[in-house]
Structure 1
Amino acid sequence: MKKPHDDPPTNWCDWWTEVHQLTPDIAYGWVPSHLTADPNDPNPWFWHWCATQNRWEAQAAPKHTLIAREPLHLEPSLLWTCCGTHGFVRNGQWESV
């Protein structure tokens, strides 16, 4: 079911653990260990509001390095080619590029 922009993942991803909103357009959450395809991948999943597709899009970040879980710091930057959203997550904050 397509969710509107004003209904972010923090409202409906109750089967994920610790879902956090970085900005009104970007959220992340930790996959419960029993649901992950790769238990060795420590990285969260991200959702972004894709203005091009007019919906929330989920994406894993398996090729990124988790520097710190709290506050979240992930390298390198994240890029969603569907709409051009690009930035870093450092010190628990989204930094647009």
Structure 2
Amino acid sequence: MYFLSGWPKRLLCPLGSTAETPFHVQSDPQRTFFAVLASARLSIWYCRPSVLIVTYKEPAKSSSQFGSYKQAEWRPDSAMIAVSVSRFFFCNHYIAFKLESLR
């Protein structure tokens, strides 16, 4: 069962154009971070408070070669995100950070 906690929030995503609207949000297993996907952009956010940590924009050459982003899944230790793209590939993004610097 899902219980709401607080009011819905609107994220100010760093979008390059209006065509890049976010369509997929995936939380990590510990609910510390969440990933926001647009067609060629991956953004990683810290949950509380909602703070943008990093944004990765896929280059146009690889975006045309592999296709647009479709879905994301976190590794259980939150050290990597696997992103599936439209032409049946997976893009693995490794994440290196220090939790002490986020607290």
Shared fold (TM-score greater than 0.5)?
no
Q: Which protein has the larger Cα radius of gyration, Structure 1 or Structure 2?
A: 2
Relative to the length of structure 1, the TM-score reads 0.39
Relative to the length of structure 2, the TM-score reads 0.37
Q: Which has the higher strand share?
A: 1
